[in-house]
Amino acid sequence: MAHSPSLNYFTNLIRLLRGDCLLSPLVVSYCVTTHCNLNCCYCEDFGARRNEQQPAPLALSEARQLLGIIRTATDSLILTGGEPLLYPHIEELLACARSEVGFRHISMISNGLLLARHPAVLDQLDRLIISLDSADPEAWDQTLQAGSGTARQIHENIIAAASQQKAHGFRVVAHCVVTPQTLTQARSVLEFCLEHDIVFSFSPQSVNNWPHFDLLTANTYRTFINYIVELKLAGAPILASLAYLDMMLKFEPYACYPLLAPRILPDGTLSYPCRPIERTGDAHGGREINLLHAKSWQAALKQATTYYGVPPVRCNSCYQQCYVEPSLMQSRPLALLRELVSFAPSRYASIHTYAPG
């Protein structure tokens, strides 16, 4: 029970009522490696073209130690990258996270290209989140920029993984980054998901931590979101709350609490208080705190707040999608209640999984 997302959720509610913004994480994302084997054109972080600039990932022993420290904050973990399947010890790390460290909810965000080489990871996962931006392999190859046939291979891997969901007890989530260019294909991704019993999630492309201008002004984008809402209300497996969908439609200000879904970089540093601020490297945030040097999550957070100050209250500085869903669910308990009442709780929709990644 200790540090479960549900417990953290309720303690966070009390903290918010008291005006305390040092919230406990609902889920922690650990980038096991920043290396990637694709070159997605919209990716502002990684990609094969940047691999040489990226640091080496941690050794397995250090990664285990890191997981132990994360576990002092929550029992819900997302492994991501880069491409996490490029981490040399991914199977061992997942097994360790599940059995030794005791994470109860484990998700992995992957591009899916290397899935066939790592069948053992499926047994350890609750959710396998795979980026899928188009149901048309030829068109998608242009986005991936990793050679002809890459997209077709990923499609086959996704279908294969989806067919193993019941056997291995996990859910496949296809995450679609909607760009002005892929907007017309996003609907086909949605239909692909429905056909193969895959959960659909999406986020609009952001530029400079702000929604892409051409999406903000496109009627087709609004039509697409309304279509997703219709499907969700009809019971389709959409990994997005109605509040999130409404936010992605109107892009209104919302109170962002990035510490609900903090991000750990491959060397163990905490991206504080959130990715956009950390990346500026200015006085408001950064990467000074390494979890490997801390005894616990709370100790690391104390160091970070001492160095950079407390995290912002009700931040509305940007639209970093990773933080939208958990922030909305945490700050709008009635919206969460509506989700849980209206849409039967399932393995893809619960407090800790409202983080599309």
Partner 1 sequence: MSDQADCNVIIIGAGVAGLTAALHLAERGLHPLVLEADPERAGGRLKGGPPAQFEHAGQTWQFSGEHGIHAIWSPYRNLQAMLARHRIRPVLVPAQEEAWFHGEGRRVRCSATGSVLRGSWVPAPFHYLGLFARPRFWAMLNVMDFFSMSRVLLGLLASLSIDPFVEDRALPGYTLAEYCNKWTPKLVALFAGLARNFVPATLDQIPAAGFIAFLRFYTLRRRDAWAFCYLPDDGNTAIVAPMVSTLQSLGGELRLDATVTRLEQLPTGWRITWNETGAEQSAQASHIILATDAPAAEALLRASPSTAEQAAPLRLPIGMPTAIFRMWFDCPPHASKGCHNAEAGIFSGDFALDNFFWLHRIYNEYIKWSRATGGSAIESHIYGPPELLDQPDATLLAIAIADIKRAWPELEGHLIHSTISRNQATHTLPDVGRPTEHLAINTPWPELFCCGDWVRDRNPALFMERACVTGIKAANSVLAECGLKVWPLLPHPDPEPLAALIERGMRSTRLALRRRVRGE
Q: Beta-carbon neighbour count of residue 208 at 10 Å?
A: 10
Pick between residue 33 and residue 331 the one whose CB is nearest to partner 1: 331
- Check if the beta carbon of residue 40 is closer than 8 Å to that of residue 145: yes
337 binds partner 1 (CB under 8 A): no
Separation of alpha carbons 155 and 261, rounded Å: 29
Closer to partner 1 by Cβ: residue 276 or 356: 276
Q: Which residue has the tokens 């997942």?
A: 94
Using the rule CB under 8 A, which residue among 11, 153, 290, 317 binds partner 1?
317
Please, are residues 108 and 170 in contact by the beta-carbon 8 Å criterion?
no
Cα(245)–Cα(354) distance, integer angstroms: 12
Q: Is 217 in the site for partner 1 (CB under 8 A)?
A: yes
Beta strands 270-271 and 171-178, pairing class: unpaired
Q: Over the range 154-164, which residues count as b (16 or more CB within 10 Å of their CB) and which as e? A: bbebbeebbee
Considering only residues 49, 59, 213, 288, which one is a binding residue for partner 1 as defined by CB under 8 A?
213
**One character per residue 165-204, x = contact with partner 1 (rule: CB under 8 A):** ----------------------------------------
- Among residue numbers 252 through 291, which ones bind partner 1 (CB under 8 A)? 252-255, 276-277, 279-280, 282-284
Among residues 135 and 261, whose Cβ is nearest to partner 1? 261
Count of alpha carbons within 13 Å of 247, Cβ hemisphere only? 27
Q: State in angstroms the smallest separation of the CB of 320 from partner 1.
A: 10
Using the rule CB under 8 A, give the single segment among 87-95, 168-176, 313-321, 348-356 that binds partner 1. Answer: 313-321
- Residue from 318, 329, 336, 349 touching partner 1 (CB under 8 A): that is 318
Which of 82, 312, 356, 357 binds partner 1 (CB under 8 A)? It is 312
Q: DSSP letter string over 255-268?
A: -B-GGGS-EE-TTS
Least spacing, CB of residue 309 vs partner 1, in Å: 8
1, 14, 18, 19: residue in contact with partner 1 (rule CB under 8 A): 19
Find the shortest distance in angstroms from Cβ 351 to partner 1.
Answer: 21
Burial of residue 192 (CB within 10 Å: 0-12, 13-18, 19+) is: buried
Q: Does 56 bind partner 1 (CB under 8 A)?
A: no
* Cis amide linkage into residue 312, ω under 30° from 0: no
Where do contacts with partner 1 occur on this chain (CB under 8 A)? 19, 207-211, 213, 216-217, 250-255, 276-277, 279-280, 282-284, 309, 312-318
